[in-house]
Chains A and B, each alone.
Chain A
Amino acid sequence: SQQGEEDPQALSIQEGENATMNCSYKTSINNLQWYRQNSGRGLVHLILIRSNEREKHSGRLRVTLDTSKKSSSLLITASRAADTASYFCATDEGMKTSYDKVIFGPGTSLSVIP
């Protein structure tokens, strides 16, 4: 079953603009993460926000989490052509195990036009 869902599916912006992606999920979580994937490559972890946090910043990234609405958003400010990639939110199922059953949202494909 799909845990996270994202919108928009695709986003095209000009360099220097901000990009906002949203993610919704269904069950309780320990935390929520965002990953980036350049075309045909592995995923790279961007940022983690815990279930008791509401907002987190990392460089040009800002993530919010609303557990009452089961949703999160990723904001990339002052975008660059190098930010062109697919972005996935990832959640677990709140398991208390030494491994994670990670479920990725469908992803947002971001194109930043120079």
Chain B
Amino acid sequence: DTEVTQTPKHLVMGMTNKKSLKCEQHMGHRAMYWYKQKAKKPPELMFVYSYEKLSINESVPSRFSPECPNSSLLNLHLHALQPEDSALYLCASSRPIAGAMNIQYFGAGTRLSVL
């Protein structure tokens, strides 16, 4: 099973809403990632979890709150977002082999629209 599952596929929310994005993998990967991708742009790294610990936060605004409850799950909690946060949010996972950039397995993404 080389699948990373993201839910929901689409999300529309108002600026005062609270919502969560969910990501799940069962490949035994211990590194998980959140990326944000705007139209016609490459994915931009937001957060990295390694062994369920937050390892990288790329200066993401606090209205985005990541959570890694266990080695298979990754959540992204959203609160008080702005219209410019509308984007495709991608989750990825990789094997934790140090010293070698590992293949990343991506989910299909959540298309987020903030009204």
Contacts and interface: CB of A to CB of B under 8 A. Distances in A.
Contacts of B6: 42
Given A42-B106, A45-B104, A100-B102, 20 more contacts: A30-B99, A33-B101, A40-B109, A41-B108, A41-B109, A42-B92, A42-B108, A43-B90, A44-B106, A45-B103, A45-B105, A50-B100, A96-B98, A99-B31, A99-B50, A99-B56, A101-B48, A102-B33, A102-B104, A104-B43
30 contacts: A30-B100, A31-B101, A33-B103, A42-B90, A43-B92, A43-B106, A45-B103, A48-B101, A48-B103, A50-B100, A88-B42, A90-B101, A96-B99, A97-B50, A97-B98, A98-B50, A98-B51, A98-B96, A98-B97, A98-B98, A99-B33, A99-B48, A99-B49, A99-B55, A99-B56, A100-B48, A100-B104, A101-B48, A103-B45, A106-B41
Interface of A: 29-33, 35, 40-45, 48, 50, 88, 90-92, 96-107, 109
